[in-house]
Amino acid sequence: MALMEGMKGCGGCHKLGLKNEVETAKLKREGSRFGVASCDACHTRHTFSLDEARSPQACQTCHMGFDHPQWEMYSSSKHGVRHLLNQNGALPQNASAPTCQTCHMGEGNHAVRTAWGFLAVRLPMPDDTAWAADRTTILQGLGVLDPTGKPTARLDALKAIDVVRLTQEDWQSERDKMRKTCNQCHSLNFANGELEKGDRMIREADHLMAQAIRAVADLYKDGILKKPQSYAYPFPDLLAFHEAPTPLEQKLFVMYLEHRMRTFQGTFHANPDYAFWYGWSEMVRDKAEIETLAEELHREAGRGR
């Protein structure tokens, strides 16, 4: 399955920004009749208000829900609560109350990039050998690396849509920008600690995720679970989305796109409830269910492990 075909549901929002004539014509051929320039997704017509687009509620329509509940995380975090109190007058207007735009659109930069990107995977591999092995497994599940660890054509597609950082310099540049943003209200020592906490949470989540991926990959390897024809390799495809063919593979998809996303995004949004109960705890349950189902399938096939 091609990556762009697999990224279902994203195109409705992810055509933001000004378009040239070629891009506009392509969108219209694909069925987009209105909003092809899409600045009015945030600066809504007809006022095209800068104040509106600077309010965190302007982000709420898209940045919520299944795989990216950033609004829910932000609005119930201390940052979000303080801003809502600021808006209703319970806090003075000059009270420190960062918005989505404060952290993600510094100085009006519309790129909205972060060090870990959307998928919380990156290159190069870490020095931690266990984490490197887990991240390799996840990149294989994303189809970026083949089962032997070699890059695939899907890596080029991920480069094109810029959802991952693929060099240490690129990652560090975005991390430094965020440290500078945090330092507007917090000490650098505190900011570094909180950001590194997010890194550690990704590492721990990756370990759970990789074990679950390997459990499903072993079923393909042993011929117990039939590989869908659309899969390029005898390996689970995390970007199969809702087309994952069995309940076991559906569980793996939900573990990655819902629960892992909430684990690391909740941590970086300073929302421990989302990070732990809606993310980490669910990942632990997912892994247990996947491994139990995999063991049952092995036993039924007479290949108990």
The tens digit of pLDDT for each residue in 219-277 reads 999 999 988 888 888 899 998 888 888 999 999 999 999 999 999 999 999 999 999 99
DSSP class of 19: -
The tens digit of pLDDT for each residue in 41-79 reads 788 877 888 999 899 999 998 899 988 999 999 999 999
With left for phi above 0 and alpha for psi between -120 and 50, is residue 120 left, alpha or beta?
left
Tell me the average pLDDT across 169-181. 97
Whole-prediction pTM: 0.89
Q: What are phi and psi of 230, to 5 degrees?
A: -75, -15
Q: What is the dihedral of CA 243, 245, 251, 255, to 10 degrees?
A: -40
Nearest to 206, CA basis, from 167, 150, 165, 263? 263
Looking up tokens 């300073």, which residue turns up?
Answer: 270
> For residue 138, which amino acid is it?
I
Q: What is the CA radius of gyration of the chain?
A: 21
Any alpha helices (H) in 109-152, and if so which ranges? 129-141
